Amino acid sequence: MIGRTIFVMSKRQGYGVKLVRGPFVALPQHHLATDDPDVVARLASESIGPIAADLFCGAGGLSLGLERAGYKVLVGVDHDEDALATHRAHHAGMSSKLDLAEPSVVEELGALLKRIKVDLIAGGPPCQPFSRAGRSAMRDLVQRGSRPAEDMRRGLWQSFLRTVAIAQPAAVLMENVPDMALDHGMWILRSMVDELEGLGYSVHERVVSTSDYGVPQLRQRFFLVALRDGTRFDWPKADERIISVRNAIGDLPPVEGGWRPQNGDDPADRVASGWASYGGPHSSFQHRMRADVPDDQADRIYDHITRPVRQDDAEAFALMDSSTKYSDLPEELKRYRSDIFDDKYKRLSWDNLSRTIVAHIAKDGYWYIHPDQSRTISVREAARIQTFPDDVRFSGPPSAAFKQIGNAVPPEVAFRLATAIRDSLEHPVPGNFRTADVAQQLAGWYETVETGAIPWLRSTNRLQLVVAAGLLDRMSASDARLGWRLIEPLRNCDEMRAARRAIEFGLGPLGRAHRIEVLDAILDELSSSDIQLENATADELKALKSIGPSVADLAVRVHPGESEQREEPIVATSGAIRVASRFFGARVHENRNRLTDGRLAVARLVGGDDNSHAAHLGLIELAESVCMTSAPDCGLCPLVADCSHAALEGYQLRLPATNQALA
């Protein structure tokens, strides 16, 4: 798609950045593009393959991957006009500017997608984490069918789910930054899982390193896949080798900073419609990027244009290699404080991954200095690193192109995931658990445990909990119960100070007499602090040096407090992650993402419904009393029926009667 271009200095609003002077690319729309829902319905009825819709589509990175996997993307929705023009140029059907913060718009869109029998709804809704929303308030937001517009704008993910609920596609694919799912309480993830499972979908989530799926950059993204009828989803296998920057852009010709091509398709406007001479691809990745370029353009590369380079920047770039930090540059070449902007400039390495291409590249390219030329990367190089093929062009000026590229889902990742979705649907295997069922089993089991290995989980007093956690953690169940007897009668700081010698004496036989210093530190800091322990937030508790972050989160999890800003964080203790790892299988063991995968897995086990609180405490207790580091007693575990580890050990048919009732 080459398109008509005109040379302008754009003054349009909406980018939040100064636009770069350069060619404005005006792309012709796809010959089957339409604004008529009836035409979309006709196109859907005539389509041989499955139908997809891409909400919050941007330039269409997801859409390109879906189409390569065999889906026909007939609906794209976004608010950015240049991105929509790009999408409309490359895809049939509707590419519409719709405000999905408006409930009536969501209802109409859902009805259209239901009418055309959409098979897959994809998208990356903008999202603000609800890390401090109370569980009851969040559940109310999720379950209400209509809400004020300002609420909808804070949760476009809910508009996405409402569309799914109306259209009922066979599959859902959602992408976002990892922080969407990994906020303190992981409310959005847990709410999405709760709602999608309630609609009959199996839900599968993961933070993906996109370099595992053929993308030549360091880029992590959160993906959620939901399949109708509880069908299991198998994630694509990771590549054994990475695609380096050289593999991605090493075939592109050298250019000077600020270069504008002089060759042009339009004799009256050669600069704007110009291209650089191209010698041909070398790596398999490059061949793939060139696969759909027309034969008469095989010797051309479009959009290989760069920003002008200041003289001092050019001198700085010339001194840098891929390991040079901004602080290493001579003082006379620094325009920013190096103690704040230590990584302000970054030269890419030919033999490694690029750093993440983000929308900020529309402002400047200092994070993306070419591996051996003294300039920042071109529009085409950024597109290549995001795996956009060379026949795809971007509407608008260069700044708009950079922004669209930085905001996009890499098409290669979308292709891998969409292919895996089709494989899972075409060869369906039932999923092996629902979060709501697992949470119910954990909560029910916890209610049957009278004391357990962590008796302070049942305390109604935060001071008791933080003191017990500081003095008695990682003890055997019998020793922990003995130690708890020393603390359980004491309700406040004064009582604990008065009993200090007795506590120290009682800890002696348990090998914990030295921990009395922990008690002293807690009592001293509380007496000198204005923090009210019983209603303090997790952040306030973490400000106390005597209480570690994990203990602070545990205290708030057990006692959420009485204020409107109730917190119930996901507490990913080493024990909870161990149980989750065994339940889900080996992927939680991966060192690179162990904590991230562990927190996601813990959130999936405890859920977000009425059983969540007891289920979370049950998970923590289970790790210390049944699913221990060595010799786990799978026969006593309430999760044995669905646990991957138990299945490997042959316990799936040995459920005790009490656990069968819970299951």
Provide DSSP, 196-225. Answer: HHHTTEEEEEEEEEGGGGT-SB--EEEEEE
- Nearest Cα to 249, choosing from 230, 271, 276? 276
Integer Cα distance of 634 and 631 in angstroms: 9
Reading the block at residue 54, the tokens are 């891409």
Region label for 144, one of left (φ > 0), alpha (ψ between -120 and 50) or beta (otherwise): beta
Integer Cα distance of 286 and 279 in angstroms: 12
Q: Which residue has the tokens 């209509």?
A: 146
3-state SS, residue 499: coil
Integer Cα distance of 452 and 83 in angstroms: 57
Reading the block at residue 298, the tokens are 């095989």
Residue 562 CA, distance from chain mean position: 31
Give burial (CB, 10 Å; 0-12/13-18/19+) of 313. Answer: buried
Helix ranges, 538-593 (H): 538-542, 549-558, 574-584
DSSP structure class, residue 508: G
DSSP structure class, residue 523: H
Integer Cα distance of 576 and 647 in angstroms: 19
On whether the CB atoms of residues 342 and 357 are closer than 8 A, the answer is no
- Nearest Cα to 460, choosing from 559, 530, 587? 559
Nearest-5° Cα angle at 393, 388 to 397:
120
Q: Which of 57, 127, 627, 634 is catalytic?
A: 127
612-615: long-range pairs with CB below 8 Å, 24+ = 612/135, 612/190, 612/439, 612/568, 613/135, 613/443, 613/557, 613/568, 614/442, 614/443, 614/446, 614/447, 615/438, 615/439, 615/440, 615/442, 615/443, 615/446
Integer Cα distance of 638 and 655 in angstroms: 8
Integer Cα distance of 252 and 38 in angstroms: 44
Segment holding 24, helix H or strand E: strand 22-26
Active site (annotated) includes residue 57: no
Q: What are phi and psi of 349, to 5 degrees?
A: -105, 135
Name 146's Cβ contacts closer than 8 Å, sequence gap at least 6.
103
Reading the block at residue 431, the tokens are 């999923």
Catalytic positions, written as ranges: 127
